[in-house]
Chain A
Amino acid sequence: MGIWSYFLRRLVQIPLVVFFVTVIIFALMKVTPGDPIAIMLGPYATPETMAALQAEFYLDRSIPLQYVLWVRDLMSGDLGHSIRSQELVTDLVATRFPVSIVIAGMATLVSLLIAIPAGVYAAYRRNSPWDYGLMGFTTVGLSVPTFTLALVLILFFALKLRWVPISGIGLRTWSDGFAAFLLPYVLPVAALAVTTIAELARIVRASMLEVLEQEFIRVARAQGIGDALILVAHALKNVLIPVITVIAVVFAFQVGNTITIEYLFSIPGVGSALIAAVINRDFPVIQGLTLVVGVFFIAMNLLADILYAVVDPRIRYG
């Protein structure tokens, strides 16, 4: 199957997936045990405010009609507003999403910068202490939850050594100086990066081992080309293919992974907004944020597919 028919098939699937995503998010509010309006407004709600909210959520209509009207509002860019603060969900997304994206992007970048050289070197020095050390690190790194790791980092680097602050993201700007702006990012990004460093280092090591076995590497060695040049010029190019294809997935994973980190470091991102909404039982915010994240992930998955196809011409589309 050719590349274009593969894309076409993926594209055709997307509307159905998006439809189900909206159904899931719509259902979130329908499966609530009890009356969602009463839960949201609390015990002191007046009948008038309850009736107003009921009309706003179309709760006086049949369930299929509620869904249709809700989707119609979504299409016109109306994601509703917070029950607590009256803030528009679209405004909330506009202020919170970039914060999470920046942190997830930094974590992805740091992961790549560390995992690629580490994995390449481990494969080059296979079965060396370095190789075993890295494999041990990846095993543990994939097992320890991000937030427990973050607590340990806080204990040592923020409280004992006092090298970096615990909070401050979103409070300082560039005008406070480069270090003051950047330092609060160190611990959250480090905690986030560990899991993906472990994941990526394994991928890099495995594909590097495969490449090093191949004929053209042996030819290059026989020609007397130095190991460093072989690794960088010949092998690395082939190793980057599997890495590039997973970058979008890693990035998307980080956006989802920030939730405990945002809570722990008081970062004003999507994750902390969602937690606050869940605690307040603020249904429009829960639905709006979940929807935006869902659409974002669909886009990232599509990007991953495109990168996959562009970078690796050997892939069969089936």
Chain B
Amino acid sequence: MTESSRTHGESPLRLAAQRFLRHRLAVIGGVLVTILILSAVFAPWLTDVEPAKTNLRSKLSPPSWEFPFGTDHFGRDVFTRMLHGARVSLLVGLGVVLIAAGIGTPVGVVSGYFGGRLDNLVMRLMDAFLTFPPLLLAVAIMGTLGPETENVILAVGLVYIPVFARLARGNTLSLREYTYVSASVALGASSWRIITRDILPNIIGVILVLIAVTFSRAVIAEASLSFLGLGVQPPTASWGRDLNEARRYLEDAWWLVTFPTVMIALAVLNMNFIGDGLRDALDPRAQD
């Protein structure tokens, strides 16, 4: 009784927000990722050092008041590089999500809604993309496009289009069976109207959850590609790229490998917490 009177008249958005806020780890994740985003956006104002500024006199200095995260083999301030590395990671994550969700979702919805031979053809193309391990395909695409930050976004974004298409198609197929959709069809609503009014609003929840997951996977992919030397090129700061260079100083300068590792792990872990929270909030059917 109290439950129903409390929820009565509240918008679904508000209910979802309440469910999200009850998820403690998701809230922590949300706070930490917000801090990460803010420090990435305001990186140039947070430190007065250039990320690529070398200073050979103070190279490989351990963490101190002057250099909170120490310096690398060129005397570059690791703290500054971590902040600027966050810019690259988040930018790639954002670009990948825009490409993958922006193309994959409409493809999946249209394919699932109209069905038939086109659907079969489109989904087999998506299967073909999903045949490859994501990182391996991204590496191969980088090989043809050449190592540039924009190409990392393109390659990884392309790899994740089919994941969105498949999810959007599956949900569209099951929504088509609902009475309110058949009612719209029977009333003579146009396909465009049904897709935009009846289907899209109802799959936004699961798509948002996938966006959170894909964002963290894109961060890992960027770090991996840059680690392999195929992604972001020096002297641009990137967590993965800096880890590659830290390999040579593993024993002598623990801070060089520690801070990028911690940054990557923290970013991914907290984005996954947000994803878990969103799943609880927006996709009540999904059970852990």
Tell me the bound Cα distance from A290 to B228 in angstroms. Answer: 17
Q: Would you call A28 and B141 a contact (CB within 8 A)?
A: yes
Q: Would you call B261 and A31 a contact (CB within 8 A)?
A: no
Closest chain B residue, CB of each to CB of A23 = B128
Which of A17, A253, A259 is B131 in contact with, Cβ under 8 Å?
Answer: A17
Instruction: Specify which chain A residues have a CB less than 8 angstroms from the CB of B269 in the assembled complex.
Output: 139-140, 143-144
The A interface, classified by DSSP as helix, strand, loop or mixed, is helix
Residue-wise interface mask of B (229-269) relative to A, using a CB-CB cutoff of 8 A (1 in contact, 0 not): 11000000000000100110011001001001100110011
Q: Would you call B143 and A281 a contact (CB within 8 A)?
A: yes
Instruction: Specify which chain B residues have a CB less than 8 angstroms from the CB of A297 in the assembled complex.
Output: 131-133
Q: Would you call B139 and A21 a contact (CB within 8 A)?
A: no
Instruction: Specify which chain A residues have a CB less than 8 angstroms from the CB of B251 in the assembled complex.
Output: 155, 159-160
User: Do A278 and B133 contact each other (CB < 8 Å), given the known contacts A17-B128, A144-B265?
Assistant: no
User: Do A279 and B230 contact each other (CB < 8 Å), given the known contacts A20-B127, A259-B136, A274-B139?
Assistant: yes
Q: Would you call B135 and A257 a contact (CB within 8 A)?
A: yes
Q: Would you call B133 and A255 a contact (CB within 8 A)?
A: yes
Q: Would you call A290 and B128 a contact (CB within 8 A)?
A: no
How many residues from B make CB contacts under 8 Å with A?
44
User: Do A286 and B134 contact each other (CB < 8 Å), given the known contacts A275-B228, A279-B229?
Assistant: no
B140 within 8 A of A: yes
Which of A286, A293, A301 is B143 in contact with, Cβ under 8 Å?
Answer: A286
Q: Would you call B228 and A17 a contact (CB within 8 A)?
A: no
Closest chain A residue, CB of each to CB of B223 = A145
Tell me the bound Cα distance from A152 to B129 in angstroms. Answer: 32
Residue-wise interface mask of A (134-163) relative to B, using a CB-CB cutoff of 8 A (1 in contact, 0 not): 000001101111011001101100011000
Q: Would you call A33 and B146 a contact (CB within 8 A)?
A: yes
A263 within 8 A of B: yes
Q: Would you call B265 and A294 a contact (CB within 8 A)?
A: no
A62 within 8 A of B: no
Residue-wise interface mask of B (262-282) relative to A, using a CB-CB cutoff of 8 A (1 in contact, 0 not): 001100110010000000000
Q: Would you call B132 and A259 a contact (CB within 8 A)?
A: no
B227 within 8 A of A: yes
Most chain A CB within a 10 A radius of its CB, from B139, B243, B250, B257: B139
Closest chain B residue, CB of each to CB of A147 = B227
Tell me the bound Cα distance from A151 to B251 in angstroms. Answer: 11
User: Do A256 and B131 contact each other (CB < 8 Å), given the known contacts A148-B264, A286-B143?
Assistant: no
User: Do A145 and B220 contact each other (CB < 8 Å), given the known contacts A17-B127, A28-B144?
Assistant: yes
Residues of A within 8 A of B (CB): 13, 16-21, 23-24, 28-29, 31-33, 139-140, 142-145, 147-148, 151-152, 154-155, 159-160, 252-253, 255-257, 259-260, 263-264, 271, 274-275, 277-279, 281, 283, 286, 289-290, 293-294, 297-298, 301
5 nearest A-B residue pairs (beta carbon): A256-B133, A20-B128, A278-B143, A143-B269, A16-B124
